[in-house]
Amino acid sequence: VYGATQAAITQLSATLRTELGARKVRVTNIEPGLTDTELGSHIDNAELSGELDGMFGFMESLRADDIADLIAYTASRPAHVNLRQVVVLPTRQA
């Protein structure tokens, strides 16, 4: 389900970009990798929670500030520049 949701968001972004580009509205799809947020604490499946904990133990994750900085950078580009898609991962995440 997660993969299907991500694919739908990518397609929605492409559609919005096509429909709104003529009005000079920029649409960017920012796709972060492993990011340390409170969402992990809401996983009620012990197996998935353990896997996530293992990932955080294995590599340094992105922080919320990293994503906020990327959003600020994206929004601060000149009006004629649209970053269509940004994939940001921790260095050790493949």
For 57, half-sphere exposure in the C-beta direction (CA atoms, 13 angstrom radius) is 6
Q: How far apart are the first and last CA of the chain?
A: 21
| Dist CA 90 CA 84 (whole Å) | 20
> Length of the chain in residues, anyone?
94
Domain 2-88 falls under CATH 3.40.50.720: yes
- As annotated, the active-site residues are 2
Q: What percent of the chain has pLDDT over 70?
A: 97
pLDDT at site 25: 96
Average pLDDT, the chain: 89
**What average pLDDT does range 43-64 have in this prediction?**
79
pLDDT at 22 over 80: yes
CB 33 within 8 A of CB 89: yes
pLDDT at site 40: 67
> Can you read off the two tokens belonging to residue 47?
């197996």
**What average pLDDT does range 27-52 have in this prediction?**
80
Domain ranges of the chain: 2-88
